[in-house]
Amino acid sequence: MKTLVVGGAGYIGSVVVRVLLEEGHEVVVLDDCSTGHADSVPDGVELVVDDISAAGRVLAGAGFDAVLHFAAKSLVGESVAHPSMYWRTNVVGSRALLDAITEHGVPRLVFSSTAATYGEPDTVPITEDVAPRPTNTYGATKLAVDMMITNECTATDLAAVSLRYFNVAGAAYGVGERHTTETHLIPIALDAVLGKRDKLTVYGDDWPTPDGTPIRDYVHVADLAKAHVLALDAAHPGEHLICNLGNGNGFSVKEVIATIEEVTGLTLPHAIGPRRLGDPTQLVASADRARQRLGWQPQYDLHRMVSDAWEFHQSRPDH
């Protein structure tokens, strides 16, 4: 297929680009590089440096078979402090992209959604049938885009798949996390191991979990990327399929710390801080639908995620 990857210079998008190329697809990347990195786009792949509003120009007359949409602002705290920025970028931008897809007759869409749409559900593991109750602006904007896509599929026969990620980690093809503002546990912890931060702050050790720290589901970025390629074939006209992507296993913050110390052979300096407002106690995915509908099966465990992230961190002294 000829694919346009919107946000293809980012962490996840650039790994997906490489998997698409391996599978024989033709790829064009559209990214404004505000948070992505041009050097993450493989040599030989056309990179259009522009924002999402340029999608119509890129799609015009070019015979694209699919769009994969990763472009979004995604910092939870920032979304709460500056909601208008998130509604404008994530929702208004996605609306413009959907209009361009319809105008130029692109038949398939794969959307980068998030577990943040669920908020803190009453039951774990979380299935796609759980009523979404986002607790922050980021999750609310992603849910709004999911709802727009559902409406679009009904109205235009678009074939769409939304993939709701849980905690993405690891590195692949020499691509790892290098966000300007880092909020993810594993890269922050590895920075602390390398002495680039004084310590890791653990937000509370009095949660109602076996060791008192919150529990999250982690999925390797390479596994995640494979799901996007499978989703292209699983998309059916007029249907909006929503699938969770996670390992189905939860790990506490303390368990992640122990894995990092095992992988690196170093002590991770950390301290206990107060709980963060709005942090869920436990988020673990049920990925049964992705297994059934996409034929997707995650391959990598937490140890491999940390090992790959550690190798990437060591390879980038400037990071």
Catalytic residue list: 138
- Cβ contact 150:139 at 8 Å: no
Angle at 112 between CA 110 and CA 113, to 5 degrees: 120
Q: Which residues contact 288 (CB under 8 A, 6 or more apart)?
A: 127
Strands (E), 20-173: 26-31, 46-49, 66-69, 108-114, 159-165, 167-169
- The span from the CA of 288 to the CA of 246, in Å, is 10
- The span from the CA of 71 to the CA of 12, in Å, is 10
Is residue 216 helix, strand or coil?
A: strand
Chain-centroid distance, C-alpha 229: 14
| φ, ψ at 241 (rounded to 5°) | -90, 130
